[in-house]
Amino acid sequence: MRDQAEILRQKMLAADGALARSIAVVSGKGGVGKSNFSTNFAYALIAKKKKVVIVDMDIGMGNIHILLGQTPKYNLMDYLVGKEGIEATINETNEGLHFISGGSGLDQVVEWSDSMFENLIHAFEYLQKNYDFILFDMGAGATEKSIELIMAIDEVIVISTTEPTSITDAYSMMKFIVMKDPETTFYLVSNRVPKKQDGDESVLRLQFAMKKFLQKETKILGYLPEDAAVQKAVIAQRPYFLVYPNAAISKKLSLMTEVFTSVNAEQNEQQASNFIKKLKNIFVRGRE
Ligand SMILES: Nc1ncnc2c1ncn2[C@@H]1O[C@H](COP(=O)(O)OP(=O)(O)OP(=O)(O)O)[C@@H](O)[C@H]1O
Ligand SMILES: [Mg+2]
């Protein structure tokens, strides 16, 4: 099985065309806005003519499909157990966003079978070749497997709010990741910043703490204001970026994608090829 993964990886490296950038959207504290960020950020990237797929890693409690007002037929688990092919598992919205639903049940899987592992590698191989960006919306309760997946991903967007507990939890989360993989690139996003504030001090302090205590540079991607458009959009099950394109938050998000897409392309290519290699190492190590 390991040989097969290696053949797949070599095939990927030899493949023509650029590979997708894989990005994990994480937080320390739950409920800070990861899923709303993921869906709307995805649409902001699509507006810039990028091909984007979201993988809902909130297994068993996935809500990306709810935010998008969709009822997917199949989920990630259906694919992993071989019930469905990858194409059937990928859903598409009318506005061109592709996503794989979290569905339910993965937490109960104790042992990864060979075929599930192979399917997982195949899925990422497929996604990396067919998209510009793969966004992994990570769940609130970080399971062992989801943490392992984060370790394989080189780019991590960390969402926090201005609340001290959210900041300290975001710091702990990054510390944990840095200890395991010092090479991870972190982008910081401060969400729900009170409207009267033009910017956010807390995210600057978070950046400072990362540098001072962990000698780790992080990039501030920006801040998103507290905006009534978010709740209204959640209730309507339509992303605010589409229904309220002129809302302050939509404009900020658009600027963020500017910053994010301008990051060095060569470095991305290298990171993309590292992804499957790391993933393979993590899973093979866990199984020996
Ligand atoms: N910028 C914002 N302005 C106003 N409300 C917001 C904003 N961002 C998020 N919210 C509110 O926070 C709620 C939770 O957001 P979301 O579901 O995206 O968080 P999450 O981090 O994905 O949660 P979980 O950790 O449970 O997966 C939203 O339903 C919305 O009501
Ligand atoms: Mg969520």
Q: pLDDT tens across 134-158, in order? A: 999 987 655 666 677 777 788 999 9
**Phi and psi angles of residue 199, each rounded to the nearest 5 degrees, phi first:** 120, -175
Nearest CA to ligand 1 atom 9: 33
Nearest CA to ligand 1 atom 12: 33
11 burial type by CB count under 10 A (0-12 exposed, 13-18 middle, 19+ buried): exposed
Relative to the CA of 37, which ligand 1 atom is closest? 18
pLDDT tens sequence across 66-76: 999 999 999 98
Q: How many Å apart are CA 156 and CA 160, to the nearest integer?
A: 13
Q: Indicate the fold that domain 2-287 takes in CATH.
A: Rossmann fold (3.40.50)
Relative to the CA of 139, which ligand 1 atom is closest? 27
pLDDT tens sequence across 211-262: 999 999 999 999 999 999 999 999 999 999 999 999 999 999 999 999 999 8
Spacing, Cα 63 to ligand 1 middle (Å): 11
Entry pTM: 0.89
**Phi and psi angles of residue 160, each rounded to the nearest 5 degrees, phi first:** -140, 165
The count of other CB atoms within 10 Å of the CB of residue 135 is 28
| Ligand with an atom nearest the CA of residue 63 | 2
Model confidence at 112: pLDDT above 70: no
Q: Which of 36, 37, 244, 252 to mutate to test the pocket of ligand 1 (most atoms within 8 A of CB)?
A: 36
Mean pLDDT of 90-115: 78
Q: How many Å apart are CA 256 and CA 221, to the nearest integer?
A: 6
Spacing, Cα 153 to ligand 1 middle (Å): 23
Identify the residue with better confidence: 130 or 120: 130
Ligand 1 pocket, residue 61 CB under 6 Å:
no
Q: Which of 234, 238, 253 to mutate to test the pocket of ligand 1 (most atoms within 8 A of CB)?
A: 234
CA geometry: angle 26, 149, 175, nearest 5 deg:
55
Per-residue pLDDT, 109: 47
| Ligand with an atom nearest the CA of residue 169 | 1
Spacing, Cα 36 to ligand 1 middle (Å): 6
Ligand 1 pocket, residue 181 CB under 6 Å:
no
**Mean pLDDT score of the chain:** 86
Model confidence at 97: pLDDT above 80: yes
